[in-house]
Homo-oligomer: A and B are copies of this chain.
Amino acid sequence: MDATIAQPSTALLTDRYELTMLQAALRSGAAHRRSVFEVFTRRLPDGRRYGVLAGTGRVLDAVENFRFTTPQLDWLADQRVVDDATLRFLADYRFTGDLRGYPEGEVYFPGSPVLTVEGSFAEAVILETVILSILNFDSAIAAAASRMTAAAGDRPVIEMGARRAHERAAVSAARAAYVAGFGATSDLEAGFTYSIPTTGTAAHAFTLLHDTERDAFTAQVDSMGRGTTLLVDTYDLAEAVRTAVEVAGPELGAVRIDSGDLTLLAHRVRRQLDELGARDTRIIVTSDLDEYAIAALAAAPVDGYGVGTQLVTGSGHPTCAMVYKLVARATSPEGPLEPVAKRSAGGKSSVGGRKWAARRPDADGVAEAEVVGTGPVPAELEPHLLQVPLIHKGEVVGREPLAAARERHLAARAALPLSATQLSRGEPVITTELYHLAPEPRA
């Protein structure tokens, strides 16, 4: 366990009301009631056909590192956030319950119970914010990334959005994009932390720094070799391409175009490179690409896409609407779990009871429904259950290499109906069926 202590504590990535609810529940005695919280979303972002769960591995780290340090406890005491009894509880806090959930990279739909947290109310309620923060952000990025890699087909997509995201969020964005099929990232911290391949080209500043574009290209090729990628749109594009091939020879690895009409320019540059004998020199395009721009370039002679802003902002949907809801709790230590649910008007009511979920395939193996239910699981759905154990009695049991999540995502997406990867706005590509739900919770 020593390794986890060295990580930054996640314990204050928490909304104040979680600790004050804890205090009140410790006083009322209800804090020790066995409780089940579920993470789910009521809807996908408008027009999206599937969601992509990402961040599960980070949730496991965050729960392990959810320990209150002495300076944190002193601050809580000094600010009178909670009373002494609660501080004593927090000082010893360690999650001892269970997490089950969809494995990372899996797709999801409205109502999918992507994560189930079971433990005492006290230990589960205070994890709400950090769990939602991670899953809402990472899944938003992965959903956008998945549409982009689907649009790109076999061409590689590179994540280069760090500068348009919070500096730490950028690292998680690179991770989520990798889960959803991106091939590399420009972000070194993401390479260092998660072993994601890193890559890069050069900025306009490098050309501007030197006395001439030829000087700049020569410096880059001398340093990085002929396989490097030269940025060719600082001054005149055609002149730059000519200079690039003169400097590097036909072995030049790639050129990057970062502005202008990319379809037109890609054709023009391809023709010029071929005429110069640089038939193997690739063309990389960047410049505020999103999944639609990538799709529009499908017929252009482009060899790779660099995506920035639109990736790290979720291509119009920078967060998911995942919530963390109490769905069942026992009223006595050994008593049964009873379903509970909010019932007021306003579209925010939810379904009580702990859920299972299965993705039912049709005769051809293509997903036809997300089945979410309470109670016993029908035998025919057993092989298609989606949740897996992640933490058992406080011990992480669901850690896996990032590559596993990446492979899972590509397989899960491929098992959806073909219309899943249509970019046009539409309904979720399969419907969520509610099965065998428990009776209405008591008033």
Complex Cα gap A86–B25 (Å): 57
Complex Cα gap A341–B165 (Å): 25
Q: Tell me, rounded to whole Å, the shortest Cβ–Cβ distance linking A311 to chain B.
A: 11
Question: Is A432 part of the contact surface with B, judged by Cβ < 8 Å?
Answer: no
Question: Is A423 part of the contact surface with B, judged by Cβ < 8 Å?
Answer: no
**Cβ–Cβ < 8 Å partners of A162 in chain B:** 13, 15, 129, 133
Picked from B12, B28, B37, B128, the residue with its CB within 8 Å of the CB of A189 is: B12
Residue of A24, A125, A203 ringed by the most chain B CB atoms within 10 A: A24
Picked from B16, B324, B343, B345, the residue with its CB within 8 Å of the CB of A198 is: B16
Picked from B164, B167, B199, B224, the residue with its CB within 8 Å of the CB of A24 is: B224
B223→A20 contact, CB < 8 A: yes
**Cβ–Cβ < 8 Å partners of A170 in chain B:** 13, 133
B346→A259 contact, CB < 8 A: yes
Picked from B15, B133, B259, B261, the residue with its CB within 8 Å of the CB of A348 is: B259
B20→A186 contact, CB < 8 A: no
**Cβ–Cβ < 8 Å partners of A24 in chain B:** 202, 206, 219-220, 222-224
A167→B10 contact, CB < 8 A: yes
B17→A186 contact, CB < 8 A: yes
B206→A236 contact, CB < 8 A: no
**Cβ–Cβ < 8 Å partners of A138 in chain B:** 166
What 1/0 flags go to A125-137 for Cβ under 8 Å of B?
1001110111011
Picked from B134, B203, B215, B287, the residue with its CB within 8 Å of the CB of A128 is: B203
**Cβ–Cβ < 8 Å partners of A325 in chain B:** 204-205
Question: Is A192 part of the contact surface with B, judged by Cβ < 8 Å?
Answer: yes
Picked from B20, B191, B220, B318, the residue with its CB within 8 Å of the CB of A200 is: B20
What 1/0 flags go to A263-279 for Cβ under 8 Å of B?
00000000000000000
Complex Cα gap A206–B25 (Å): 8
Picked from B166, B172, B205, B235, the residue with its CB within 8 Å of the CB of A21 is: B205
Question: Is A376 part of the contact surface with B, judged by Cβ < 8 Å?
Answer: no
Known: A21-B206, A165-B137. A160 touches B15 (CB 8 A): yes
A166→B172 contact, CB < 8 A: yes
Which of chain B's residues has its CB closest to A133's CB?
Answer: B167
Known: A8-B8, A198-B79. A15 touches B186 (CB 8 A): yes
Known: A223-B24, A318-B318. A62 touches B167 (CB 8 A): yes
Complex Cα gap A184–B59 (Å): 27
**Cβ–Cβ < 8 Å partners of A393 in chain B:** none
What 1/0 flags go to A161-200 for Cβ under 8 Å of B?
0111111111110000000000000111101100000111
B326→A75 contact, CB < 8 A: no
Complex Cα gap A13–B329 (Å): 43
**Cβ–Cβ < 8 Å partners of A346 in chain B:** 233, 258-261, 287
What 1/0 flags go to A318-345 for Cβ under 8 Å of B?
1101001110010100000000111111
What 1/0 flags go to A98-123 for Cβ under 8 Å of B?
00000000000000000000000100
Question: Is A300 part of the contact surface with B, judged by Cβ < 8 Å?
Answer: no
Known: A129-B163, A163-B324. 5 other contacts (CB 8 A): A17-B201, A17-B202, A138-B166, A260-B344, A313-B318
Listed A/B pairs (21) with beta-carbon separation below 8 Å: A12-B188, A12-B192, A13-B162, A13-B189, A14-B187, A15-B200, A16-B200, A17-B202, A17-B203, A21-B203, A24-B206, A35-B205, A129-B187, A133-B162, A133-B164, A136-B163, A136-B164, A204-B342, A208-B326, A209-B329, A313-B319
Q: Top 4 closest A-B pairs, CB basis?
A: A259-B346, A17-B200, A28-B219, A16-B200
